[in-house]
Structure 1
Amino acid sequence: MADNPLVTIIVPVYNAERYLPYCVESILGQSYHNLQIILVDDGSTDASADLCDAFAAKDTRIDVVHQSNGGIGKAQNTGLDRAEGQYIAFADNDDILDRRNIELLLHVLLQTNADMSKARWRQFGVSTLDTVQQQAAIGASEPSTITVFRNPLRAYQTVFCKSLRMIGTALGRKTEARYFNEANWCRLYRRELWDGLRFPEGAYAQDVMVAGELYSRMSSVADLDVVLYNWLQSGDSVTHSERSFGFYHDNVEAGAANFELALNHGVTPMRSYYTLVGSIAEERTAKDVQLDDHLRILDEDIARAEALIAKLTPFQRMQCASTRVLRLMDKYLYDRVVKNMK
């Protein structure tokens, strides 16, 4: 590679002593070496903090920050504030990166001049940790296809149903290449995309809350048709286990903000409709919904959603409602298969 820019990888760390070594070793073993690795210990109460320090003592590329617990948004912001690289990547503290993750993502960014590059990922269960680690250390093959697409905000809002992506790809439209969610891992960003943009702190759904603004800043995205990231499915993760009213309300807030932003950019907010309507339904059945403040907030959220949906044309409402049904079918299968990985 002719150019050798510095890439910053940000890893929020919280009580991950069992899985953190797998994650950090996969980053240290990257085929691309010019890295700044920021481990943000967010007030861990297990051995994670000591593990971070031990890794830093072995490799000068690692920068460890210890801070009081403030949630993943605060940890990610700390990493962004300390980032020195021209390009920025994120990783969760219990996931495993393919050995060629940064190499391939950076190469395609330099080659295409896109704002962000992304690749495919796979889910795995705890019982296959060692096997996945060994496979990731070998390194992926060259991507079979590189797809560059414009208007990422439109793709984010409209290409999210797995069933429709499969049909589109079968018809030769490269629909899967245009899919991406709110997760920040398995991507490489140009640093300037994050100028003046930070995650909300102390909130759930922090990645959803910045998604619309982040994607609206991008002109193009490059997709690599190769698996470069391994996502651990753990039943005790926040995404899989949290069921409080506050969790669902934060998703309502994020969905509503992205809904309005999409409309302002002339994009039908199909994904945000799904998030907004679904999160309100979950609020109604949350275990702590009967608290007085929560009932009041629920009423406010319902009124806000109704006002936003009223801005849609009849055709847009049909699009949003029909894709929501398809996405619920996808989710049913996902919950039965992927979330139950062992």
Structure 2
Amino acid sequence: MMFFPYGSRQGKIMRNLISVIVPVYNVEKYVEECIRSIMEQSYPAMQVLIVNDGSTDGSAEICERLCEMDSRLRLIAQKNAGLSEARNTGIDQAEGEYICFVDSDDTIKPYFIERLMNLIAGTGAQMAQCELYSSVEEEKQKSTYQIYKASEYLERLINDQIPSYFCGKIFKKELFHDFRFPLGKTYEDLLMMPMIIERCRSIVATSEKLYFYRRRWDSITNHPRYRIQNQRAISQAFSRRFHIAKERYPSVRSTALKRAVEANLCAMALVYDQRGRSDEWKEHYVFLNDALKEMQKDPRMKLFLKIVTQSAFSFPSIFNPVLKAGIVLKNRFKMK
């Protein structure tokens, strides 16, 4: 890992075409602000692919009007198939050498693309990342940047030092050769980001906060109806990360195991509450049974987590309802 004051190696200016992919679904309240922030980018070589994923509100009409104002914008319509399919459609239509994803309820600073593209030009990285912010107070900071090997970056990701979002980043398009987002899943970023990272030779990250990430409690990832689906997706992503860490990154193996166990315990409790000892419940049970053996061999694993995991096997009819109640209570306080 190399660390530089911002601007110390920025001699090159990049003018390669970048394709900005914006999936849109029922965001009429936010989508114009999002797209206008893209239209105002200081970077000139830009293609903007707005993928309308079957919106039923006024989002499509807003996008059509904006497309008439700027020839760089293109609206693509498809039947509702979810965020992953909308992103995949954008990747298939992308003409740029580089790709970035902007969620349609977020906005980007006018120099977001220019800053990251210049960092790529100056470092030769295949991926660039900025910091995200969710309030005006978070914007101010001194700017530095660091260059990581893919292995270093992935270790930091597994260690929860780097967010898993695909937004706030720019990627070399060749990274998406034979790569597409899985359909029908939530938290797809959590699952797929390690795969993209391992395809990179190097990654550059700036401390500048250039991407405004809007937190919405009405999103699918926060809706109570999708609680089981979401928690299962999280557990599958963290389980995969543990297997990656176990095979190739021993320094973060304990952290990855802890995250995977916690996620699977929560998923197992939620599934048990709704569906009993179903095949889905057994999937988490099997993982935790194997994980418990790993935990017993790991001196860094906390005794409390070992006891909780063992209780899930010994007293499932008591453990699962109690844990599920704790999850619901935690979410209620989180949403206030």
TM-score, with structure 1 as normaliser? 0.77
Question: After alignment, is 144-153 or 227-236 more displaced?
Answer: 144-153
Give the residue type in structure 1 aligned to 2:237.
Answer: A
Alignment of 1:32-111 (within 5 A): 32-111=43-122
* Aligned residue number for residue 261 of structure 2: 277
Q: CA deviation at 1:335?
A: 8.0
* Aligned residue number for residue 203 of structure 1: 185
SS in 2 for 1:30: coil
The answer (yes or no) to whether the contact 2:261–2:291 under 8 Å persists in 1 is no
State which structure, 1 or 2, has the greater radius of gyration over its C-alpha atoms: 2
Distance 1:213 1:315 in 2: 26
Distance 1:42 1:319, change over 3 A: farther
**Equivalent residues, number:** 297
Q: CA deviation at 1:202?
A: 1.0
SS in 2 for 1:50: helix
The answer (yes or no) to whether the contact 1:153–1:212 under 8 Å persists in 2 is yes
Instruction: State, as a whole percentage, how many aligned pairs show the same letter.
Output: 26
Distance 1:313 1:291, change over 3 A: closer
Q: CA deviation at 1:48?
A: 0.8
Superimposed CA distance per residue, residues 197-219 of structure 1 (whole angstroms, 9 cap, x where no aligned partner): 11101111211221221111223
The answer (yes or no) to whether the contact 1:143–1:224 under 8 Å persists in 2 is no
Give the residue type in structure 2 aligned to 1:156.
Answer: L
Tell me if 1:251 matches 2:252.
no
Structure 1 unmatched ranges of 5 or more: 125-131, 161-178, 323-333
The answer (yes or no) to whether the contact 1:289–1:295 under 8 Å persists in 2 is no
Distance 2:76 2:303 in 1: 43
Question: After alignment, is 194-203 or 49-58 more displaced?
Answer: 49-58
Give the residue type in structure 2 aligned to 1:93.
Answer: S
Superimposed CA distance per residue, residues 88-132 of structure 1 (whole angstroms, 9 cap, x where no aligned partner): 1111110110111000000001101112111111113xxxxxxx6
Distance 2:124 2:247 in 1: 26
Structure 2 unmatched ranges of 5 or more: 1-11, 306-329
TM-score, with structure 2 as normaliser? 0.79
SS in 2 for 1:239: coil
Superimposed CA distance per residue, residues 121-152 of structure 1 (whole angstroms, 9 cap, x where no aligned partner): 1113xxxxxxx6xx9xxxx9996312112222
Tell me if 1:286 matches 2:297.
no
Alignment of 1:181-196 (within 5 A): 181-196=163-178
Distance 2:260 2:214 in 1: 26
Q: CA deviation at 1:337?
A: 10
SS in 1 for 2:278: helix
Distance 1:153 1:24 in 2: 31
The answer (yes or no) to whether the contact 2:221–2:230 under 8 Å persists in 1 is no
Considering only aligned residues, what root-mean-square deviation do their CA atoms show, in Å? 3.0
Q: CA deviation at 1:182?
A: 1.4
